[in-house]
């Protein structure tokens, strides 16, 4: 952007474009075209969420008059708010729990000497090759035998993270050793040092991990689809199915409204915290 300011105005006047067109108007046009195509599915979903089925099948691309009816159906009959609340509880618990456990593990790996450290670190890193999707058959058998409350079934299996541990190990290792030496001279315990010194200077890294894990957990689907059987404890990604399974045929308005509402928290967080999101990735990338 700095460069476009530096371009002398005389040059832009000499080009053939009309005065009311912005500089490089064709790039703006192409970008708006891309934005339009990328945004169309959401625009369509938003439109349909205000319509009746009759309006949908008339291909009406303007807002309909059925939003309140759809809203009442989604929130009243179909418990969407409950699913969203469950999703929120799960996503926040996973994001915070994972971050906390990763902080503790990172502290152990960087600030302690103990026998077999490399072995333990390798043991943690090796789990990168075991995504839930590869083990879910056995995990399902194991977890359903534990008979934990549904909320714990959703959260506990995902509390440990090789990525998070690695992230904090790298981050702590980049902090000057003088800091921890000074803390020890002051007689600080490891946990004092972690929460009074490390955490306050690590908010960027912590934020990155929390954002990524929240998005990941909110959008998680296969596991809740397997393990959650009751409506009261269901998460929103799976709960949308109840709007598909209607005897009288699908009502598209409520379905789209629910899909849009289910996307508001992750989209907001992603758009507002995109910098944190990116930095989390560039930090974990150079393993």
110-169 residues in contact with other proteins (CB under 8 A) are 110-114, 117-118, 120, 123-124, 127-131, 133-143, 156-161, 165, 169
Distance, CA of 67 to CA of 105 (rounded, Å): 49
Q: Which of 74, 256, 276, 280 binds other proteins (CB under 8 A)?
A: 256
How far CA 178 is from CA of 166, 182, 184, 185, in Å, comes to: 22, 6, 10, 10
Q: Which is nearer to other proteins, 10 or 245 (CB)?
A: 245
- C-alpha 166/C-alpha 128 separation (Å) is 11
Q: Which residue has the tokens 């349909």?
A: 48
Q: Is 199 in the site for other proteins (CB under 8 A)?
A: no
Tokens encoding 238: 């799976």
Look at the chain and count its residues.
Answer: 287
Phi/psi at 127 (5° precision): -70, -10
Residues 206-225 that bind other proteins (CB under 8 A): 215, 218-219, 221-222, 225
Per rule CB under 8 A, is residue 83 in the interface with other proteins?
no
By C-alpha distance, which of 285, 262, 267, 271 is closest to 84? 262
Q: Which of 21, 77, 81, 181 binds other proteins (CB under 8 A)?
A: 181
Q: In the complex with other proteins, which residue's Cβ is closer, 2 or 18?
A: 2
Backbone φ, ψ for residue 146 (5° rounding): -70, -25
For position 241 contacting other proteins by CB under 8 A, the verdict is yes
In the list 73, 109, 205, 233, the residue contacting other proteins (rule: CB under 8 A) is 109
Task: Decide: is 48 part of the binding site for other proteins (CB under 8 A).
Answer: yes
Rg (CA), the chain: 25
Q: Does 246 bind other proteins (CB under 8 A)?
A: no
Residue 16 C-beta: closest distance to other proteins, Å? 18
Task: Please select the residue that binds other proteins; options are 213, 262, 276, 280, rule is CB under 8 A.
Answer: 262
């Amino acid at each position: 952007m700095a460069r476009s300011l530096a371009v002398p105005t005389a040059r832009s006047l000499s080009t053939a474009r009309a005065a009311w067109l912005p500089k490089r108007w064709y790039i703006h046009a192409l970008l708006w075209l891309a934005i339009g195509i990328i945004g169309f599915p959401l625009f369509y979903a938003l439109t349909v969420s205000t319509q009746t089925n009759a309006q949908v099948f008339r291909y009406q691309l303007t807002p309909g008059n059925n939003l309140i009816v759809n809203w009442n159906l989604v929130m009243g009959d179909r418990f969407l708010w409950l699913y969203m609340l469950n999703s929120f509880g799960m996503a926040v618990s996973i994001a915070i729990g994972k971050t906390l456990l990763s902080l503790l593990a990172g502290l152990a790996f960087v600030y302690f000497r103990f026998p077999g450290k490399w072995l333990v670190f390798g043991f943690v890193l090796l789990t990168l090759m075991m995504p839930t999707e590869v083990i879910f058959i056995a995990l399902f058998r194991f977890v359903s035998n534990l008979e934990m409350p549904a909320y714990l079934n959703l959260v506990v299996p995902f509390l440990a993270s090789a990525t998070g541990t690695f992230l904090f190990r790298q981050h702590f290792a980049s902090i000057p050793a003088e800091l921890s030496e000074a803390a020890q001279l002051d007689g600080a315990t490891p946990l004092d040092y972690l929460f009074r010194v490390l955490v306050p200077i690590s908010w960027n890294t912590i934020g990155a991990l929390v954002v990524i894990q929240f998005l990941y957990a909110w959008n998680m689907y296969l596991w809740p689809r397997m393990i959650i059987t009751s409506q009261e404890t269901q998460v929103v990604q799976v709960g949308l199915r109840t709007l598909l399974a209607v005897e009288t045929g699908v009502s598209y308005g409520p379905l789209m409204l629910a899909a849009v509402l289910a996307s508001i928290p992750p989209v907001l967080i992603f758009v507002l915290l995109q910098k944190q999101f990116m930095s989390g990735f560039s930090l974990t990338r150079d393993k």
